[in-house]
């Protein structure tokens, strides 16, 4: 599914908070159908960039297009075409699995029949069919994360933004989570993911590494390892950070 057709174009993106520069002149493209990793230490400016691309924050300057729409003037259109999963857990604990799905389906304007068909398919795939009427608060964290991701792509967005989706989750669940990401990519969804787990960088098609608000490296994991003469992404990251 990998193409060279850009779905996100960012040219000279700058975001300042007062005199603090959170994003310093970022330029990159994300291609349709790829998994684009956005790596960096905490505070490197990853979340700021993702928030701008999702229309949650407005940039100071630069030219940005997401799914073909302008970040300044067409945020409504962008929101219609993306899915978003934030750092914090994002489902309602006091609602059941079904009620959460119905809420998001409603908010994204999905047709009821459409939503029902996809819900059945999704719950079966996750093995959660029996838990449809359980409250989210009663489920284990790993299940919740997988569910949150599946709900974020229920409306079949062009791009899904994942902001540190696997924080605080055990390695096995993380692996399962990445399988879900691969399944999403097979359906043609582009995945934009931030993480500070360097092993996860290996799973990306291309990875960019941010430090102090700048992109310091951007390539496939393989090429990055060659370029920095490292055995794995963790070493790449340590060499760059130094």
Provide the CA 155 distance to its chain's centre, in angstroms: 15
| 12 contact partners, CB below 8 Å, separation of at least 6 | 25, 26, 27, 61, 62, 63
Q: Binding to other proteins (CB under 8 A): which residues in 135-164? A: 161
In this structure, how many other beta carbons lie within 10 angstroms of the beta carbon of residue 174? 20
Q: Is the separation of the CB atoms in 148 and 90 below 8 Å?
A: yes
228 touching other proteins, by CB under 8 A: no
Contact stretch for other proteins (CB under 8 A) within 26-34, 77-85, 174-182, 185-193: 77-85
Closer of 99 and 234 to other proteins (Cβ) = 99
Tell me if 80 contacts other proteins by CB under 8 A: yes
Asked if residue 86 binds other proteins (CB under 8 A), the reply is yes
Residues 51-70 that bind other proteins (CB under 8 A): 54-58
Count of residues near other proteins by CB under 8 A: 31
Tokens of 83: 């899915």
Give the H/E segment covering residue 214: strand 214-219
Least gap, CB of 161 to other proteins (angstroms): 8
Distance CA 110, CA 117 (A): 11
**Residues in region 160-199 near other proteins by CB under 8 A:** 161
Give the interface with other proteins as residue ranges (CB under 8 A): 54-58, 76, 79-80, 82, 84-95, 99, 102-109, 161
């Amino acid at each position: 599914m990998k193409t060279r057709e850009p779905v996100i174009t960012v040219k000279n993106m700058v975001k300042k908070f007062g005199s603090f520069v959170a994003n310093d002149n970022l330029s990159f493209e994300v291609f349709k159908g790829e998994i684009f990793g956005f790596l960096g230490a905490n505070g490197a400016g990853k979340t700021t960039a993702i928030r701008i691309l999702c229309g949650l924050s407005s940039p100071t300057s630069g030219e940005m297009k997401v799914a073909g729409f302008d970040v300044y003037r067409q945020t409504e259109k962008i929101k219609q075409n993306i899915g978003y999963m934030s750092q914090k857990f994002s489902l309602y604990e006091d609602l059941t699995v079904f009620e959460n799905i119905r809420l998001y389906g409603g908010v994204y304007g999905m047709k009821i029949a459409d939503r029902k068909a996809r819900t059945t398919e999704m719950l079966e795939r996750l093995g959660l069919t029996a838990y449809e009427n359980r409250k989210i608060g009663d489920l284990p964290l790993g299940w919740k994360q997988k569910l949150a991701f599946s709900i974020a792509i229920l409306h079949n967005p062009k791009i899904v933004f994942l902001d540190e989706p696997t924080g605080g989750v055990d390695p096995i669940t993380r692996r399962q989570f990445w399988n879900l990401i691969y399944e999403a990519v097979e359906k043609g969804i582009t995945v934009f993911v931030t993480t500070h787990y360097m092993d996860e960088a290996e799973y990306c098609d291309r990875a960019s590494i941010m430090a102090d608000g700048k992109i310091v490296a951007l390539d496939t994991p393989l090429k990055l390892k060659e370029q920095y003469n490292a055995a794995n992404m963790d070493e790449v990251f340590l060499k760059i950070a130094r």
